[in-house]
């Protein structure tokens, strides 16, 4: 934002006082995105909000919402000869039903951490005798880069590169959430980076169909405070609209180029979410033209008996039903060093954030 410290303090005081004045009853605001969850903790936002304004995390951590069946499939692939699993670091420690990719790597599997799917294409080019499977996990923010990697593989004639897709779309998950009788949300703080790709239109239904005020917000402390202020203002005046606090990054029509790349390679499909089960039209799979890059299609594998970790309440955390300290494992048998569930692994996971930063509400 390029503001001086004094200006930031003044603006923060203005928004905080405004929230206090406008929030004349209990307000439950859900930050949908894991990046917001971490930013809220890091900046101590909870501590400056009045007691009646509650921030609760939603299903916005991509690693957390990826169910165990997917992890078990990745583990099964990692046990195959001449197979390389290329993945973002977070996925390595997530417990599947009976193993993790990190444990498989320690046992000799070829599991490599990458920072971009293009690195996985390069690994495939460098190892023509091996099959390289990239774990394509993430929301609308990361799906374009996976699509671009597929196009790069086509351009380079790479035939030993595959995706194990678990890309997910945020708006259908919010529909599923709002359709649950248990859900109580007075307003949504929406993920700025997702909207930078999608534009604002896919989120208009929150106010239009469900009457829930929503604000697209950035990730600095002031962005978040202003987002909460904009929500409190709507709620106070009985309005329900979609507002864009993050205009400096989120144009109304998002990023059409990134969407075109995504649409070229993927098709919308049903997808399984931890804590929700199957949500219609909430995932992205490789379309017919690129199906030969789909690991499940090209390299069939059978995985049975997948189960969630016993006693892990990650699903309820992701639905905003409970906060992490309400899970009996939290901080006892489940810590970032020995995670029981995915929400304690990912840096964007709600349990990991509560564990690291502690004193939230
Ligand atoms: Fe699951 Fe651990 Fe979070 Fe409990 S604290 S919900 S076991 S990840």
pLDDT digits (tens, 9 = 90+) for 60-81: 999 999 999 999 999 999 999 9
> Does the complex come out with an ipTM higher than 0.85?
yes
Between the alpha carbon of residue 232 and those of residues 208, 213, 224, the distances in Å are 18, 9, 12
Enter the DSSP assignment of 309: P
| Residues 149 and 120 sit within 8 Å (Cβ to Cβ) | yes
What is the average per-residue pLDDT within 250-265? Answer: 97
pLDDT-based confidence at 1, cuts 50/70/90? Answer: low
Q: What is the pLDDT of residues 207-230, one digit of tens each?
A: 999 999 999 999 999 999 999 999
**In which band, very low, low, confident or very high, does the pLDDT at 119 lie, cut at 50, 70 and 90?**
very high
Using CA atoms, how far apart are residues 36 and 43, in angstroms rounded to an integer?
10
The pTM score is 0.94
pLDDT (tens digit, 9 = 90+) per residue, 294-325? 999 999 999 999 998 889 999 999 999 999 99
- What is the pLDDT confidence band of residue 361, given thresholds at 50, 70 and 90? very low
Residues in the chain: 361
Domain 22-312, CATH homologous superfamily name and number = HypD, alpha/beta domain 2 (3.40.50.11740)
Nearest CA to ligand 1 atom 7: 312
pLDDT of residue 360: 47
Q: Which helix (H) or strand (E) holds 69?
A: helix 68-78
Tell me the mean pLDDT in the region 142-147: 98
Q: How many CA atoms lie within 13 A of 270 on its CB side?
A: 6
Question: How many angstroms separate the Cα of 25 from the Cα of each of 2, 50, 137, 154, 218?
Answer: 34, 11, 39, 56, 25
| Mutation test residue for ligand 1: of 100, 340, 349, 353, the one with most atoms within 8 Å of CB | 340
Atom number in ligand 1 closest to CA 345: 8
Residues of the chain with CATH 3.40.50.11740: 22-312
Q: Is 191 in the pocket of ligand 1 (CB under 6 A)?
A: no
Q: State mean pLDDT over 126-141.
A: 97
pLDDT on residue 346: 86
- Please state, in angstroms and rounded to a whole number, the distance separating the CA atoms of residues 361 and 351: 13
Contact criterion met (CB below 8 Å) for 48 and 13:
no
- Tens-digit pLDDT profile for residues 16-38: 999 999 998 999 999 999 899 99
| Cβ–ligand 1 contact at 344 (below 6 Å) | yes
Q: What share of the chain is helix, strand, coil (3-state, %, to 5)?
A: 45, 20, 35
Ligand 1 mutation pick, 65, 310, 329, max ligand atoms within 8 A of CB: 329
**Residues 101/111, Cβ–Cβ less than 8 Å:** yes
User: How far is ligand 1, taken at its centre, from the CA of residue 333, in Å?
Assistant: 9
How remote is the C-alpha of 163 from its chain's centroid? 18
Rounded to the nearest integer, the mean pLDDT of the chain is 95
Give the Å distance between the CA of 180 and the centre of ligand 1: 21
For residue 131, pLDDT beyond 60:
yes
Closest residue by Cα to residue 77 from 235, 300, 355: 300
The CA 299 to ligand 1 mean position distance, Å, reads: 33
Closest-lying ligand 1 atom to the alpha carbon of residue 322: 6
Q: Is the CB of 313 under 6 A from ligand 1?
A: yes
Q: How sure is the predictor about 141, in pLDDT bands with cuts at 50, 70 and 90?
A: very high
Please identify, by atom number, the ligand 1 atom nearest to the C-alpha of residue 327. Answer: 4
116: its two tokens: 């971009």
Q: In percent, how much of the chain has pLDDT > 70? A: 98
CA of 316 to the centre of ligand 1 (A): 10
Cα–ligand 1 centroid distance for 346 (angstroms): 12
pLDDT of residue 52 exceeding 80: yes
Distance from the alpha carbon of residue 174 to the mean position of ligand 1, in angstroms: 22
- Pocket mutation for ligand 1, best pick of 67, 308, 313 (most atoms within 8 Å of C-beta): 313
CB–CB of 77/121 below 8 Å? Answer: no
């Amino acid at each position: 934002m390029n503001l001086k410290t004094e200006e930031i303090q003044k603006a923060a005081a203005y928004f905080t006082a405004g929230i206090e004045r406008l929030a004349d009853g209990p307000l439950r605001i859900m930050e949908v995105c894991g990046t917001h969850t971490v930013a809220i903790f890091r900046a101590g936002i909870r501590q400056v909000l009045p007691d009646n304004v509650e921030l609760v995390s939603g299903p916005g951590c991509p690693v957390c919402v990826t169910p165990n069946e997917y992890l078990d499939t990745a583990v099964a692939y990692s046990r195959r000869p001449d197979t390389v699993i290329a993945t973002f670091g977070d996925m390595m420690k997530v417990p599947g039903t009976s193993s993790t990719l990190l444990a498989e790597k320690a046992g000799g599997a070829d599991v490599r951490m990458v920072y971009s799917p293009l690195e996985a294409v390069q690994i495939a080019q460098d190892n023509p005798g091996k099959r390289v499977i990239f774990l394509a996990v993430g929301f609308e923010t990361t799906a374009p880069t996976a699509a671009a990697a597929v196009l790069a593989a086509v351009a380079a004639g790479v035939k030993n590169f595959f995706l194990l897709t678990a890309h997910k779309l945020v708006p259908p998950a919010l529909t599923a959430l709002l359709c649950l009788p248990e859900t109580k949300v007075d307003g949504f703080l929406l993920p700025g980076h997702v909207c930078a790709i999608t534009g604002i239109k896919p989120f208009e239904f929150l106010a239009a169909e469900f009457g829930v005020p929503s604000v697209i917000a950035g990730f600095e402390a002031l962005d978040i405070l202003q987002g909460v202020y904009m929500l409190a203002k709507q709620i106070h005046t009985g309005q329900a609209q979609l507002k864009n606090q993050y205009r400096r990054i989120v144009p109304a029509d998002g990023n059409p180029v990134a969407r075109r790349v995504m649409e070229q390679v993927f098709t919308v499909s049903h997808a399984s979410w931890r804590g929700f089960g199957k949500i219609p039209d909430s995932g992205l799979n490789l379309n017919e033209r690129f199906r030969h890059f789909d690991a499940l299609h090209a390299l069939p594998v059978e995985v049975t008996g997948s189960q969630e970790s016993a006693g892990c309440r990650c699903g309820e955390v992701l639905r905003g039903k409970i906060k992490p300290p309400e899970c009996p494992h939290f901080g006892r048998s489940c810590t970032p060093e020995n995670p029981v569930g995915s929400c304690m692994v990912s840096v964007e996971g709600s349990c990991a954030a509560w564990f690291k930063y502690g004193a939230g509400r």
